[in-house]
Amino acid sequence: MLSTCLYLAPKILIRAAVLLIFVCVPSVSPALEEDPLKDMALGFTIEEEGLNQDGGKFISIGGYLESRNQVRVKDVDEPISLRQRLWLDCYLGQDWIRGFASAYFDYDPAVRDWTDDTNELYYLELNEAYLTVDTERIDFIFGKKMMRWGTGDGINPMDLINPRDYRDPIASARADARLPILLANGIFLLGPVTVEGVLIPKPEVNKFSLPDSPWEPEGLRELRRSAQSGEIVLAPREEPDTWFQDAEFAFRASTVWKGLDLALLYYNGYTDDPGYHRDYLTDGRMRFTPRYHCYQAYGFNFAKGFERATIRGELAVKPALPFSIHPNDPSYEKNSNGLVSRDLYQGVIGIDRTFFTNLYVNLQFFTDLIENGQESLAAKRESHGITFEISDKFLDDDLTAGFRGMYFTSNDGSACEIFAEYKIGDNWQIAPGYMTFNGPKDSRLGQFNDNDMIYCRLRYSF
């Protein structure tokens, strides 16, 4: 026992030193998922030559320093993440034209604990950088941006524009994390109807997690192990990467009718996750080639607000999506590519309400239904479940605490989280919590049951 403690001591001291360095230096304001330039009220005027000649130019620069540490409950010596982050953002604006940019630098020493690939040890990234042009009837946005569509809370069948963050895909126990991409967005006000169009000149898809990453999907892990042992061949990914030729686009038409927010949506682009084409080499081994397929999606969503409650819902149809045929099924043929097209139907219905002063309750039901066929799919034909959150505010609303999660009633696992966020003055925030994953090892959430964690985020904003 003593020898184990002596072995762990240097690593713990190093991590503690890193934590102190990052939390004792001034930091920045949080990242914003929605357009931070909407209804912008910037903090100060720059008096330098060239910036205020017309008396209307403003600039605001801020950011934060954050220490976010996720430690496994079952194996404290192999933390999931010890991410230390410096975030900077900048707002510029004058009348009808505004700009926003954000960037961050990450250092995560925990990467060395679970993989030999240290590409994610240091990470410098331009997050968002876009220009907003406002006119009376038409608005345009150009640049790299986050754009999440849908009225669902954590589950949005038509949220298809931004790929997942492969380094940190689990934002909370009922929501994922996404990455901004380069796009052009136009919003047109046509009387009572608003029409919005998005053009993505070069598709962005979900990148693969590093080998042995805590968030590496079990299916990908098995493919990599089989390829390393020589049982199969895992070919390089074939991505849609031709500018404009492989362009994606989406449309949304929305209106308000008798207090109902209504929207029709359309998307034409590529799957964020690949389908694995199978063929056989001359030596008899099976070769898997990850390919991304073009498809279309049609959606409808609605929301109705009451005095202290909101009812929301979404429906989506995704025709001819590629799914894998299970290789052990009798219908599987050796000369086939291992994929079959099926229609996917998705639905979400939910309600959230505030009780008393600040007691917030959110409950959603969701379902995915795959069209039936003769071939047995590797994916389940039907999945369904609920997402939930119960939270309240305390200590003059400086403390928010609660319980949230996702539970698949179709035996695809569950994720639950106890969370708290405490604001200390105008600059500091501390957010501790506990997250657990349960379910069969081959299920959607159960595959991460080794990632049960205690976490703490300490942020200083400036």
> What residues contact 375, with CB distance under 8 A and at least 6 apart?
325, 329, 331, 332, 340
Query: Beta-strand (E) ranges in 306-452?
Result: 309-324, 339-355, 359-370, 382-394, 399-408, 414-424, 428-438
Assigned domain for 122 exists: no
How many CA within 13 A on the CB side of residue 255? 8
The sign of the torsion formed by the CA atoms of 282, 283, 289, 295 equals positive
- Of 269 and 53, the one with more pLDDT: 269
Q: pLDDT for 208-233, tens place per residue?
A: 999 999 999 999 999 999 999 999 99
Assigned domain for 291 exists: yes
d(CA 215, CA 209): 7
Q: What's the confidence (pLDDT) of residue 329? A: 67
> In the predicted model, what is the mean pLDDT of the chain?
87
Asked if pLDDT for residue 264 goes beyond 50, the answer is: yes
Q: What's the confidence (pLDDT) of residue 386? A: 97
Q: What's the confidence (pLDDT) of residue 52? A: 44
Rounded (10°) CA dihedral 267, 381, 219, 314: 40
Q: pLDDT for 304-360, tens place per residue?
A: 999 999 999 999 999 999 988 876 666 666 667 889 899 999 999 999 999 999 999
Q: What's the confidence (pLDDT) of residue 331? A: 62
Asked if pLDDT for residue 5 goes beyond 50, the answer is: no
Band (385; pLDDT cuts 50, 70, 90): very high
| Residue 453 structural domain | 135-461
Assigned domain for 100 exists: no
Assigned domain for 27 exists: no
Q: What's the confidence (pLDDT) of residue 379? A: 78
Q: What's the confidence (pLDDT) of residue 34? A: 46
d(CA 452, CA 398): 27
- Of 13 and 167, the one with more pLDDT: 167
d(CA 92, CA 98): 5
End-to-end CA separation in angstroms for the chain: 44
> What residues contact 90, with CB distance under 8 A and at least 6 apart?
59, 60, 61, 99, 100, 101, 102
d(CA 385, CA 349): 11
Q: What's phi and psi for 98, nearest 5 deg?
A: -140, 160
What's the whole-number mean pLDDT along residues 119-126? 94
Q: What's the confidence (pLDDT) of residue 47? A: 36
Q: What's the confidence (pLDDT) of residue 7? A: 39
Q: pLDDT for 30-64, tens place per residue?
A: 333 444 444 433 333 333 333 444 444 589 999 99
Q: pLDDT for 386-436, tens place per residue?
A: 999 999 999 999 999 999 999 999 999 999 999 999 999 999 999 999 999
Three-state DSSP at 347 gives strand
Q: What's the confidence (pLDDT) of residue 30? A: 35
Assigned domain for 47 exists: no
Asked if pLDDT for residue 1 goes beyond 90, the answer is: no
pTM of the model as a whole: 0.84
Assigned domain for 119 exists: no
Q: What's the confidence (pLDDT) of residue 332? A: 66
Assigned domain for 263 exists: yes
Q: What's the confidence (pLDDT) of residue 117? A: 85
The sign of the torsion formed by the CA atoms of 298, 177, 216, 404 equals negative
Q: pLDDT for 87-110, tens place per residue?
A: 999 999 888 999 999 999 999 999
Assigned domain for 283 exists: yes
Asked if pLDDT for residue 246 goes beyond 90, the answer is: yes
pLDDT-wise least confident of 13-17, 113-117, 379-383, 433-437: 13-17
CATH code at position 251: 2.40.160
- CB-count burial class (<10 Å; 0-12, 13-18, 19+) for 314: buried
Q: What's the confidence (pLDDT) of residue 154? A: 82
d(CA 381, CA 375): 11
Contact 246, 276 (CB under 8 A): no
Q: What's the confidence (pLDDT) of residue 440? A: 95
Domain count, the chain: 1
Q: What's the confidence (pLDDT) of residue 431? A: 98
Asked if pLDDT for residue 259 goes beyond 80, the answer is: yes
